[in-house]
Amino acid sequence: MTFISKYLCFNMNRLYTSVIILLLTQVCFGQLTLRVVDLPDNTPANPSIYVAGNFQGWDPGHVDYQLTDDGNGVFEIEFSPPVGSLEFKFTRGNWGTVEGNAAGGPIPNRTYNYTGAAATVELTILSWEDLSGSSGNSTAASNVQILEEDFFMPQLNRSRRIWIYLPPDYDSSQKDYPVLYMHDGQNVFDAATSFSGEWEVDESLNQLFDEGDYGVIVVAIDNGGSLRIDEYSPWDNPNYGGGEGDEYMEFIVNTLKPHIDSNYRTLTSREFTGLMGSSLGALISLYGGIEYQDVFSKIGLFSPSYWFADECFDHVGNTGKQETMKFYSIIGVLEGTTHVNNLNQMETTLMEAGFTSEELNQIVHNDGQHSEWYWAREFPAAYEWLFGDLDLTDSHEISQNSINVFPNPASEHLFINGIDIIENQTVEIFHSSGQLLSREKLSTNQVDLQKMPRGFYIIRISDERGVLLVRKITRID
């Protein structure tokens, strides 16, 4: 055989081998192709269209999940998701540009049962919520306000919109209220800002108030869009991101909560403070509740995405029970066996960490889905279980006018009179920006200011009944 014949034979064998490998690869690893064959007439020219779903962390603008334009108005993407029930939606890069229904309103998540075999699914996008004209029809109740459009988050060096719900009798009473902090604020009160429906928290709480509930303040923090995954997990997932959850929780505990407590009539102690979220918002709620047991005592976990970070189980076990807590957890059977099993595993982990069955309420609903309609339906029951047994009265009789702090300005120490010093009183000092600088039990009528640089501060003293004193003070040399 000549050299040329051997060369051609060798390369032909390589070619046959490559073809065989390619065919085997296609058989063993089937591809799912999503083809969008029709777009709304008002779609902007040359759009960038993405698919976001439970197979990629619900990132609305992930570069690996951008559809390709075939030049004839058809957009498609080919990928290999995990076998099982897929949920997804199309966006133009963020949740503000998510697809909508025929009327331009929110739609449930799309679903597809992927078997692992190669398949092509042709789909139509009916509308874009931001271009439908329906986004201006707010469904938020009149007692919901935007606290600030761009509330600065110093721990993350970025800003975020913050919402606040005040009980119906807030302006007509002198009551102090428990506080519930919630994530994904766009979806909590208003269908106009949600990407797939709202939780209807304001409607539910107003109805419960009419039926005799004491009332609660709800503070909702918008998610960061493409930064949501990073902020809602302190642990990094190599496929999806994460890793900024520590800073996000520090923002809530050390910046946002002091601001709320300083400007609204709140019951500040952990007994009256809760944290709630869904999906990755539930993951960060679990982390925040375990990490800050001295701040929160009531944790709502709706369809938690424990799959995102196995470290969450170790975190609970290693930290252990430090305070009495309440954990309310729900999951839907339609969310998949993995999610149900993870919820059961976390219940076991919490009990092994020292929490009792009285502190845990876990419910599996046969019809539950990973969707806002499900969380909206279950919110009232979760709220009543978490907050319903609080010992609340209609009045807070302690008068701040009877409490004095002196001297003011002060150099080294501040003295307090007008209250009996008891073990469960807490003194906190905030920077004028609202950042918490120190928190400690008040054991004497003297507060040490020597570690504080000169400047203006806010001092707050509270106990289980709420805030006893808020004063602006000046530290001088």
Q: Which domains does the chain have, with CATH numbers?
A: 31-131 (2.60.40.10), 144-387 (3.40.50.1820), 400-475 (2.60.40.10)
Distance CA 292, CA 290 (A): 6
- For 273-306, the pLDDT digits (tens) are 999 999 999 999 999 999 999 999 999 999 999 9
The mean per-residue pLDDT over the stretch 245-272 comes to: 94
For residue 134, give the H/E element and its range: none
Q: What is the mean pLDDT of the chain?
A: 86
Place of tokens 């766009």: 186
The mean per-residue pLDDT over the stretch 234-238 comes to: 93
Confirm whether pTM is higher than 0.85. no
pLDDT of 239 strictly over 90: no
DSSP string, 217-259: EEEEEPP-GGGHHHHT-SSEETTTEE--HHHHHHHIIIIIHHH
105 DSSP 8-state letter = S
b or e along 9-34 (b: 16 or more beta carbons within 10 Å of the residue's beta carbon)? eeeeeeeeeeeeeeeeeeeeeeebeb
pLDDT of 398 strictly over 50: no
Three-state DSSP at 286 gives helix
How many other C-beta atoms are found inside a 10 Å radius of the C-beta of residue 125?
19
The mean per-residue pLDDT over the stretch 327-353 comes to: 96
pLDDT bucket at 28, cuts 50 / 70 / 90: very low
Distance CA 43, CA 128 (A): 8
Tell me, what's the pLDDT at 82? 92
Three-state DSSP at 380 gives helix
Distance CA 196, CA 371 (A): 8
pLDDT of 414 strictly over 90: no
**What Å distances lie between residue 369 and 111, 124, 313, 334, 378, CA to CA?**
11, 23, 23, 5, 12
- For 84-126, the pLDDT digits (tens) are 999 999 999 988 788 887 767 677 889 999 999 999 999 999 8
pLDDT of 202 strictly over 80: yes
Q: In terms of pLDDT, which residue wins out, 210 or 436? A: 210
Three-state DSSP at 392 gives coil
pLDDT of 264 strictly over 90: yes
Strand partners, 363: 330
- For 439-458, the pLDDT digits (tens) are 888 878 888 888 888 887 88
Distance CA 384, CA 466 (A): 21
The mean per-residue pLDDT over the stretch 251-277 comes to: 94
pLDDT of 324 strictly over 90: yes
Q: In terms of pLDDT, which residue wins out, 58 or 391? A: 58
Tell me, what's the pLDDT at 421? 64
The mean per-residue pLDDT over the stretch 114-139 comes to: 81
Triad 234, 150, 289: Cα angle to 5°: 30
Lowest mean pLDDT of 5-9, 177-181, 335-339, name the range.
5-9
The mean per-residue pLDDT over the stretch 340-367 comes to: 97
Nearest CA among 285, 366, 369 for reference residue 327: 285
Distance CA 51, CA 439 (A): 46
Q: In terms of pLDDT, which residue wins out, 5 or 215? A: 215
Please list, in sequence order, all residues whose beta carbon lies within 8 angstroms of the beta carbon of residue 471, skipping any fewer than 6 positions away.
405, 408, 458, 459, 460
Please list, in sequence order, all residues whose beta carbon lies within 8 angstroms of the beta carbon of residue 26, skipping any fewer than 6 positions away.
118
DSSP string, 148-217: EEEEEETTTTEEEEEEEE--TTTTT----B-EEEES-GGGTS-TTT-SS----HHHHHHHHHHTT----E
Pairing of strands 99-100, 127-128: antiparallel
Tell me, what's the pLDDT at 134? 44
pLDDT bucket at 378, cuts 50 / 70 / 90: very high
b or e along 225-252 (b: 16 or more beta carbons within 10 Å of the residue's beta carbon)? eebbbbbbbbbbbeebbbebbbbbbbbb
pLDDT of 45 strictly over 80: yes
Widest CA span in the chain: 109
Pairing of strands 68-69, 119-124: unpaired
How many other C-beta atoms are found inside a 10 Å radius of the C-beta of residue 73?
11
